[in-house]
Amino acid sequence: MGVLHEECGVFGIFSLSRKDLAGSVYFGLHALQHRGQEGAGIVVNDDGVFTYRKDLGLVSEVFDQDALTKLGEGNIAIGHVRYSTSGSNDRTNVQPIVVKHVKGAMALCHNGNLTNSYELRQELELSGSIFHTTSDTEVISYIITKERLTAPSIEVAVERAMDKICGAYSLVIMSPTKMIAVRDPNGFRPICYGMTPEGDYVVASESCALDAVGARFVRDVEPGEMLVFTKDGMFSDRTHTGKAERAMCIFEYIYFARPDSVVDGCSVHEARMRAGAYLADEHPCEADVVIGVPDSGIDGALGYARRSGIPYGVGLIKNKYVGRTFIAPDQKMREKAVKMKLNAVPSTIKGKRIVLIDDSIVRGTTSARIVRLLRDAGAKEVHMRVTAPKFIAACYYGTDIDDPSCLIANNHTTEEIAAMIGVDTLGFLSVENVVKLPDGGKTKGYCTGCFTGEYPTPVPSERKKAKFERKISEKGE
């Protein structure tokens, strides 16, 4: 449980048989709440008229029954849950972005992070564009809108925009008559679609959100693919498929996705079990019980226990009413959230040699707090095993690490980190094995840039998260 942040979850539904879609989007966003807890929004399309609500907070805080009722009815609706990886946690940055222009309204949801947003925004501003947000999502909306002025259709405008934007983007776009799902040519972030028994098309960041609304998973959107949903059915545009090497974010399997999701054909639960087994092979130890840090360390702990033969036990209990510390937007809030979030089970811990499985160590603060909980509960020894390699580099594709100097592994050896967080031994999963997590190494093409410093695309020239919000003194003006 590090102190990283992930970006967003997107959801959309297109129906010809019913118009009460706001509730379905609400349930879909609930299933994606783990992907972002800063803001949420829903837009409903009633014959080209867009009604929307978006605000800071959890899905249940932004939408009550009255708010959902006021969204009205429509045959297309899209929604978004957000964590800010580009642009601050501000109400104006909450998605979906809604644009009204001469060719008709458009609403857009974005999961990921552009690597050339700074240059694109400068170009647009110098040509007269006025921005209302500080997120790269508005850059995408401007480019699509600009292309739409000469394009014969919204999908052609989107296809042209894909020639200009770079980096990670899984998009759900709504026009007056269509819903569009897009995945960047590298396929950094997941997006899939399914169908309900009534024939509704549903698009979501993860398959667990399809389950939440009773939709059957059909398939993942392929890297570079655009799916267009209309009253006449669905068609695929593959103009951009195969134009870049596949580079799915491996951390989706380690932490971001829910364990009940299937991402690019691979079970997240099984990937995390596999991580635990690899750790048992790479970093064995003598111990009495294996425990996992809820929630994303549990599957790894089960995998470690099965491979090592050491019994699995429930050693930490999570307060289900406290959000992920990973998503909390500043360090003080993260530390307070950890104190409220977890408690040790003394009967499992006292007098025992513990193998503690977690998904990551980023700055070490959260890990140290958890180890203290175990020591206070009477742990005799604590051997920590991490289902990810060491974080040593920035991520430019939607994980909020823009300053490698804050990463503990850049400044300390494994032994030093072990001493700092208070464990007897410490072991990280190797880069060689982390890329085997999804299916045992059968599939190639995963981004491990945050572990290796090697990236599948050119890195941004301006690398700070708040690059559009700097003080005058910080700009050197």
What is d(CA 473, CA 423) in angstroms, rounded to the nearest whole number?
A: 42
Give me the phi and psi of 455, to 5 degrees please: -115, 150
- 8, 166, 395, 447: the catalytic one is 8
Q: Which residues contact 309 (CB under 8 A, 6 or more apart)?
A: none
Length of the chain: 477
- Measured distance CA(197)–CA(216) in Å, rounded: 8
CB 385 within 8 A of CB 427: yes
Distance CA 369, CA 389 (A): 20
Sheet strand arrangement including 425-428? 289-292, 353-358, 381-386, 425-428
For residue 197, give Cα distances in angstroms to 15, 65, 260, 279, 430.
11, 25, 21, 42, 43
Which conformational region is residue 88 in: left (phi greater than 0), alpha (psi within -120 to 50 degrees), or beta? beta
Q: Which two tokens stand for residue 183?
A: 């995945």
The encoded tokens of residue 331 equal 């360090």
Which string of DSSP letters, residue by residue, matches 158-224?
A: HHHHTTT--EEEEEEEE-SS-EEEEE-TT--S--EEEE-TT--EEEESSHHHHHHTTPEEEEEPPTT
Distance, in Å, from the CA atom of 4 to the CA atom of 399, rounded to the nearest integer, reads 7
Instruction: Give the pair of three-digit tokens for residue 435.
Output: 């890329």
Residue 109 annotated as catalytic: no
Please name the amino acid found at residue 187: G
Beta bridge partners of 89: none
Give the catalytic positions in this structure. Answer: 8
